[in-house]
Amino acid sequence: MSRLFKWTTTYPKTVLLVLLLLTGFFGSQLGNIRMETDADAMMPEGHPAILYNDQVEEVFGIKDTMIVGIVNEQAGGIFNPSTLALVKRLTEKIASLKGVEAVTDDDVISLSTIDNILGTEGGFEVTKFMEKLPADAAAINVLRKSIYDSDMFVGGIVSEDGTATAIYAELENGLTNRAQVYRDIKAMVAEEMGKGGPEKIYVAGRPVLEVTFGEYMAEDMQKMMPIVMLVVIIVLFLTFRSVAGIILPLLVVIASVIWSMGIMSLCGIPMFVISTQMPVILMAVGTAYSIHILNKYFQERLEKPDQDRRQLVLSILDEIWKPVVMTGLTTAVGFSSLITAYMVPIRYFGIFTAVGVLTAMLFSLFMIPAVLVQFNIKGRIGTGNTDNPSESGLFSRLLSHLGGLMFDHRRKVIIITGVVMVFAAFGLFRVSANSSWIESIKHSSDVYIANEVLNGKFDGTMNMYVIVEGQNPDDIKSPAILKKIDEMQADVEKLDLVGGTRSIAEYLKRMNRVMNEDRPEFEFIPNSPELVAQYLFMYSMSGGPEDFDDVVDYDYRMANVWVQMKSDYTDDVTLVIDRIKAFADKNFPADKIKINLAGRAYTSNVWVDLLIRGQMNSILFSLLAVFLITAIMFRSVVAGIFNIIPIGAAMLLNFGFMAMMGYPLDVSTALSSGIVIGVGIDYTIHFLSKYRLESSRLGDPRKAVTKTMATTGRAIFFNALGVIAGFMVLYTSNFPANQRMGGLVSVSMLTCFLAAMTVLPALLLVIKPAFIQKTNP
């Protein structure tokens, strides 16, 4: 490295020009980054759950759907001429939109397009519930009665209390501009709401959530970057109180953001929700290396004002480059360990954040020395570098005094820390994985409010598909199997979080009833296979056989049971899955019938399982990597252990804090552990490096601790302050998960800092490891 540093300080203009040109090139790629909000894109490519879900959606013609809910809380609810006309009008307008899967108005499902099964003298016929708009109260009462007598669409199309109705618009497969469809529907809604009617209209559904994610991601990027930049400027001002001390680290972190995102764009990697944290994290973390270099430079410059700048810079780099490289590598390893995660966004987040960290490290080691040599830059901080700490600045004196306290009370510090760790360890047993897509967006958003309202009015906005698969065509026409499907529906509907279910069995029960004078006691599955086949044939002749497309396949070998849920929390979904599997194991012979699960609720559940397993791998990988790097660079296994003690304590307290706050283990909270390992290790490395040097030079443990505190401790403090304040910026995010992550990492960074400044020196003073007395690496 010494040759590189000599070349850098000999040709500073060349170094600066090369870095400027490369930064400009990567910056030119930023405009090509695209946003990715598709939930399926976050799963590992080729995962069996996703492949099977795609197969199910293809077989049953299931498409992503936007839901428009119309609510009228006035007397009579939605059953009045004005609201019913609104339903018909909106249905027709939505059907005409580009991107909506609708050849005719009937392809948009609503009260004005759904079919009813009515008995006739010769059997039954299939007609629309609302062939034309009811003109008077009598016609409206007939419509209301027919809806609630049928019961098939109560909870799905019309709410049980009659105050709400829903319109379902399927989107074309492969539609890339979902945002435009959403904007068009919102414009229609705004126009109707502007007429001053009593109705309130809400828009929900997975596509709406994904579009909102994209909008909030862009908004987060625009909002958080200026805030975190201001935070960094304030911290740098408090650290150095000089223009150069602010500008140089700021340029380093800006370059790290440009390089990481530019390289990501060149690789064709999109921005995911989690990727919006990258600039904030790099701005918060990337100043660390430049702070330590500038802190040392300004101290040495004040102490040796007449020394040649180039020689001064080279002497500083000779002392500090190893801890800077070590911290850069360990931080990069902490993030890149996420490559072991199963989730695609987490992998890319880890890889490209690591790229940004390494960029910040390289700019600190080469750009800053080049600038320091090229320009006559002076600092205003106290030296903190005399044998008498009292001659240093106020803050250095305070830290030096803290070092004295650590020396005098080292055993008490260790005991108190041990007690705290024991209590924090109990948090490990109270934290569970519980994630939710809808809860990952702020509660004041239109889509969250719409989801809450529609969940309250209807069966639920989250779907799970239970696929009943026979061995041969027409197996699903078996009355025995149909009855078991019906029983399974009744069993799972006993769960409060299941609003309702739908299957081919309901259609057949309705047909059997109307074929028997519409008497309720005949609403059951007929015992005769021939009668079942006859009903299905009669329906195909009177109505449209495509009405069954989403509940049974073409040759009646597979049936799809729709389970509508009011929650997508992992714990709730797991409860439903366990209930279905328990019923299936008991009632469906495994040698004849297979039961499989699909749908967004199920794939989200798989997603969380992959998240946990992947995160455990990442934590173990990063801990091992950090241990190996520090053990090699300090040339001591014991040094490696000492380096991971503070971050181990921080992780325990992290889980304890999660348990205390009731935070579940989700994407944000799982990632926080990896960040703690990668970033928190910096404080330990810098402290150990400086303490080792001072211990060897002074030969007095107390003086070594106080000197380390007064000098490197100062840089560690402001480094930690910048990281903590930077992560706190995530509280301004539109995503609650990002906010939780900001809080957790901030608390953990505070813990890492305190552990490095208290527990670590106490352990060093009590144990007196042999590697401290060895020659500084």
Which tens digit of pLDDT belongs to each residue from 293-330? 888 888 888 777 778 888 988 988 888 888 888 888 88
The closest alpha carbon to 720, from 654, 676, 668, 657, belongs to: 676
Q: Which residues contact 775 (CB under 8 A, 6 or more apart)?
A: 696
* Distance of alpha carbon 326 from alpha carbon 123, whole angstroms: 82
Q: Mean pLDDT lowest for which of 164-173, 323-332, 578-587?
A: 323-332
pLDDT band at 433 (very low <50, low <70, confident <90, very high): low
CA 703/CA 390 separation, integer angstroms: 12
Written as one letter, the residue type at 176 is T
Query: Do residues 744 and 672 lie in contact, with contact meaning Cβ atoms separated by under 8 Å?
Result: yes
Q: What is the pLDDT of residue 386?
A: 45
pLDDT interval class at 13 (50, 70, 90): very high
Please, which pLDDT band fits residue 776 given cuts at 50, 70 and 90? Answer: very low
pLDDT digits (tens, 9 = 90+) for 611-648: 776 777 777 887 888 888 888 888 889 988 888 888 88
Instruction: Tell me how far apart the alpha carbons of residues 550 and 546 are, in angstroms, rounded to a whole number.
Output: 8
Determine the pLDDT at residue 391.
Answer: 41
Could you give the CA distance from residue 684 to residue 401 in angstroms, rounded to a whole number? 19
The edge-to-edge listing of strands for the beta sheet with 558-565 is 498-502, 558-565, 462-469, 594-598
d(Cα 472, Cα 83) in Å, to the nearest integer?
A: 47
For the residues 709-727, what does the mean pLDDT come to? 86
Average pLDDT over residues 261-287: 87
Segment 171-194 shows an average pLDDT of: 87
The percent of residues above 70 in pLDDT, for the chain, comes to 93
Banded model confidence at residue 371, pLDDT cuts 50, 70, 90 = very high
Query: Can you tell me the distance from the alpha carbon of 675 to that of 688, in angstroms, rounded to the nearest whole number?
Result: 21
Residues 386-413 have a mean pLDDT of 73
Residue 538 phi/psi, 5° resolution?
-65, -40
307 phi and psi, to 5 degrees? -70, 145
For the stretch 87-106, pLDDT in tens is 999 999 999 999 888 766 66
More confident residue, 560 or 737: 560
Is the pLDDT at 726 greater than 50? The verdict is yes
Measured CA to CA, the distance from residue 49 to residue 658 in angstroms comes to 30
Average pLDDT for 195-220? 88
The residue assigned the tokens 């629309």 is 128
pLDDT of residue 777: 44
How much is the average pLDDT of 108-113?
Answer: 91
Amino acid at position 577, single letter: I
The tokens of 178 are what? 């979902």
Stretch among 410-419, 464-473, 524-533, 654-663 having the lowest mean pLDDT: 654-663
Query: DSSP state, 776?
Result: P
Distance, C-alpha 332 to centroid of its chain: 20
Q: In this model, does residue 477 exceed pLDDT 90?
A: yes
Q: What is the mean pLDDT of residues 213-229?
A: 86
Nearest CA-CA partner of 735 in 448, 508, 522: 448
User: Nearest to residue 290, comparing CAs of 261, 259, 250?
Assistant: 250
Residue 774 banded pLDDT, cuts 50, 70, 90: low
Look at residue 373 and tell me whether its pLDDT is greater than 80.
Answer: yes
CA distance readout (Å), 94 to 67, 142, 184, 185, 237: 11, 27, 9, 7, 56
**Helices (H) and strands (E) in the chain — how many of each?**
27, 9
Separation between Cα atoms, residue 645 and residue 298, nearest integer Å: 31
Residue 194 or residue 319, greater confidence: 194
Rounded to 5 degrees, φ, ψ at 118 are -120, 140
What is the structure's pLDDT at 384? 47
Distance, in Å, from the CA atom of 393 to the CA atom of 717, rounded to the nearest integer, reads 14
Look over the chain and give the mean of its residue pLDDT values, rounded to a whole number.
86
Confidence class of residue 364 from pLDDT cuts 50, 70 and 90? Answer: very high
Question: pLDDT grade, residue 160 (50/70/90)?
Answer: very high
Residue 406 has φ and ψ, to the nearest 5°, of: -60, -40
pLDDT at 138: 92
Please answer whether residues 305 and 250 qualify as being in contact, where contact means their C-beta atoms are separated by less than 8 angstroms. no
User: Which pair of structure tokens corresponds to residue 206?
Assistant: 């997975």
225-234, 486-495, 668-677: the lowest-pLDDT one: 668-677
